[in-house]
Amino acid sequence: MTRVFSGIQPSGVPTLGNYLGAIRNWVPMQDRHECLFCIVDLHAITQFQPPAQLLAQTREMAAALLACGLSAEKCVLFVQSHVPAHAELGWIFNCVARIGWLNRMTQFKDKAGSDRENASAGLYVYPNLMAADILAYKATSVPVGDDQRQHLELANDIAQKFNHDYGVEFFPRIEPFIQGVAARVMSLRDGTKKMSKSDPSDQSRINLNDDADAIALKIRRAKTDPEPIPEHLSGLENRPEARNLVGILAAVTGTLPENVLREHAGQGFGQFKAVLTEALVAHLAPIRAEMLRLLQDPGALDAALHRGAERAEAIAQPVITEAKRIIGLLPRR
């Protein structure tokens, strides 16, 4: 059975982008594969998180993932920092990855912005830790949004270099699993930027715990252009905001953007946004309600995460021990 690994940072409430690009695709995988889904708090602290907020967001993320349909029985759901293997292998990979490789990572450039000198060293080596997250379990399938493609290529480079340097066939090849019509959901304020849970503007995103009024307001305020909805996909070229809203409606109604265009061609955005709001509220209201219900019992959430960490540890520990033997940190058997 394929082993699947994916992670999400507790750096805020998960957004519609996280949901459509990643979480929603994780749910059916639990029935077909051995799945590990990880709340990657060590990644979240690459940018400062107030401590109490980080703890609250970690629990909130667990509630959101369960509310979206993950099952703590079917998959291994856990918090990254609860399993030391991630940090241990992350350090080893810091010593395998080359600085030139990291310099090419566009996410670092996006996140560090113009103030690169002031970004944390953790943000810079983030892709090495991500490679460790996956390879500590020798997972081979990684369902992520389109934005993570470059990091997975780097993870494969690291695995290959490790195998080559030590003359072993130890770490497997990882296959990204990028799926869905809305593999990359863009900001509601700027269609050229991806929707992010840590964007300073709350108006740029739909949070999974937004109520119907908040969703309606954000969609009403979403940036658009004065042209009506076109008939064909070619009419969305150079219209990133229009393309994004069409993609979102297609994704939440389970259809293709071309079908959305066929149905709404000629409409202005006022009319289109009303339809989009209704579809989003219908889709997200049950998730929000379940999330709020789960958050009423933090003890049960913590217990589920604790069990998940024990199961994850049992898989990762033999892999790390063997990696240490290969490197010479432990004697060979």
| Residues identified as active-site | 111, 194, 197
CA distance 28 to 267: 35
CA distance 80 to 41: 6
Region binding ligand AQP by CB under 6 A among candidate stretches 92-100, 179-187, 224-232, 271-279:
179-187
Is 7 a binding residue for ligand AQP by CB under 6 A? The answer is: yes
- Judged by beta carbon, residue 46 or residue 277, the one nearer ligand AQP is 46
Distances (CA, A) of 110 to 91, 116, 146: 24, 10, 15
- Judged by beta carbon, residue 183 or residue 229, the one nearer ligand AQP is 183
Candidate list 129, 185, 284, 320; residue touching ligand AQP; CB under 6 A: 185
CB of 88 to ligand AQP, least distance (A): 20
- Judged by beta carbon, residue 276 or residue 323, the one nearer ligand AQP is 276
- Judged by beta carbon, residue 8 or residue 323, the one nearer ligand AQP is 8
CA distance 141 to 305: 22
CB of 305 to ligand AQP, least distance (A): 17
CB of 196 to ligand AQP, least distance (A): 3
CA distance 314 to 32: 21
Retrieve residue 153's tokens: 């290529």
Within 20-39, the residues that bind ligand AQP by CB under 6 A are 21-22
Cα angle, residue 315 at apex, residues 155 and 297 outer, rounded to 5°: 100
Candidate list 11, 80, 141, 204; residue touching ligand AQP; CB under 6 A: 11
- SS3 state at 142: strand
Q: What x/- string results for residues 135 through 174 when contact with ligand AQP is judged by CB under 6 A?
A: ---------xx-xx--------------------------
User: Are the C-beta atoms of 181 and 257 separated by less than 8 Å?
Assistant: yes
User: Are the C-beta atoms of 87 and 138 separated by less than 8 Å?
Assistant: no
- SS3 state at 28: helix
Interacting residues with ligand AQP (CB under 6 A): 7-9, 11, 15, 17-18, 21-22, 144-145, 147-148, 183-185, 194-198
